Amino acid sequence: MTKSPPEDAQSRRAVKPVICYPVDALPSAPVADYVAAFIGAPIVASATAAPREAAAIRVPAGHVLRISSVGGPQVGDLNLFNANNLQERFYSGKTRALHGAHVSTGDRLWSQLPYLRPIATIIADTLDWYGIDDFGGSVHDVIGTRCDPYTGNLLGGTQYHHCCHSNLTRALADETGLSLAEAEPLVHDVLNVFMCTGFTRDTGQYFMKASPVRPGDYLDIFAEIELLAVLSACPGGDCSAEHSSDTAACYPLQMDVLAPRAGALTDWTSPPVNQYDGSHGR
């Protein structure tokens, strides 16, 4: 039973919000220096995530991972690992808490506790013109988890094997030599590259809509540490209608690794892991 509102309900609702984590205190990323280091940069490695499949690629520290739309509008589910310690991986929830529900140029991608450091920085985004639309939607979300066969089974009783969770699991296993059982728990909540999402204003539900991405669009991610990147070309395609099935039109996603210009970034070093002492008061 819904309790009737208290007399001061209006004034309680009228309290102004405060930002949970003002990011002014964070050292700002030297995006201009990063961008300058990659003007005319050569591509030193490439991989393609086929439609409804995932691919893995290693990105040396100080290099850029460019994720490009090729063939048609397509969203990608991205996992990032410390290439030398798979326990350190992307922390979508804290990235969201720090930078907002969607990320773009200048935002950093953080690793989970107890490491909590910027493992990557977004330095270019051809979709940054999109902003926030009239539905509250925006691009490159850190809200959604990743489509997975368990939720599909829960909601529809299905056995579907090409959700991003399964694609990422297979690609991680293939790249590292781990078994599927060992790889699966390492798969984590993603950066939804090119995906356009938000929350409905009336019910607060997570929504998706057709991605504005077009072939030629890209997202440049500077690797602050050596990364293992695993990217799934989501079975939802542009996510205009549904995912977790073979219904949507799907396209590949291209991953290229760019090396910095010779002589650039010579003073740059990887950020250290978080300096909390880990004693938890004992």
- Given a contact cutoff of 8 angstroms between Cβ atoms, the answer to whether 59 and 257 are in contact is yes
**Is there binding between residue 119 and Zn ion (CB under 5 A)?**
no
**Is there binding between residue 234 and Zn ion (CB under 5 A)?**
yes
**Is there binding between residue 78 and Zn ion (CB under 5 A)?**
no
User: Based on CB atoms, which residue is closest to Zn ion, 48 or 274?
Assistant: 48
**Is there binding between residue 265 and Zn ion (CB under 5 A)?**
no
Residue 129, both tokens = 């013109």
**Residue type (1 letter), 273:** V
Q: Give the pairing of strands 108-110 and 118-125.
A: antiparallel
User: Based on CB atoms, which residue is closest to Zn ion, 78 or 221?
Assistant: 78
Q: How far is the CB of 79 from Zn ion (least distance, A)?
A: 12
Give 58's strand partners: 228
Region of residue 136 (left: phi > 0; alpha: psi -120 to 50; beta: else)? left
Q: Which residue has the tokens 């977004």?
A: 122
Q: Using CB under 5 A, which of the segments 76-84, 93-101, 211-219, 261-269 binds Zn ion?
A: 76-84
One residue of 49, 101, 147, 171 binding Zn ion per CB under 5 A? 147
Residue 223 vs residues 120, 199, 257: alpha-carbon distances, Å:
5, 30, 10
Q: How far is the CB of 49 from Zn ion (least distance, A)?
A: 11
User: Based on CB atoms, which residue is closest to Zn ion, 108 or 170?
Assistant: 170
**Is there binding between residue 219 and Zn ion (CB under 5 A)?**
no
**Is there binding between residue 191 and Zn ion (CB under 5 A)?**
no
Site for Zn ion in 148-167 (CB under 5 A): 164
Q: How far is the CB of 169 from Zn ion (least distance, A)?
A: 13
Positive or negative torsion for Cα 264, 268, 257, 143: negative
Distance of alpha carbon 80 from alpha carbon 75, whole angstroms = 16
Residue 112 vs residues 50, 87, 102, 194, 225: alpha-carbon distances, Å:
28, 9, 18, 23, 14
User: Based on CB atoms, which residue is closest to Zn ion, 126 or 151?
Assistant: 151
**Is there binding between residue 187 and Zn ion (CB under 5 A)?**
no
Question: Which residues would be at the binding site for Zn ion (CB under 5 A)?
Answer: 77, 147, 164, 234
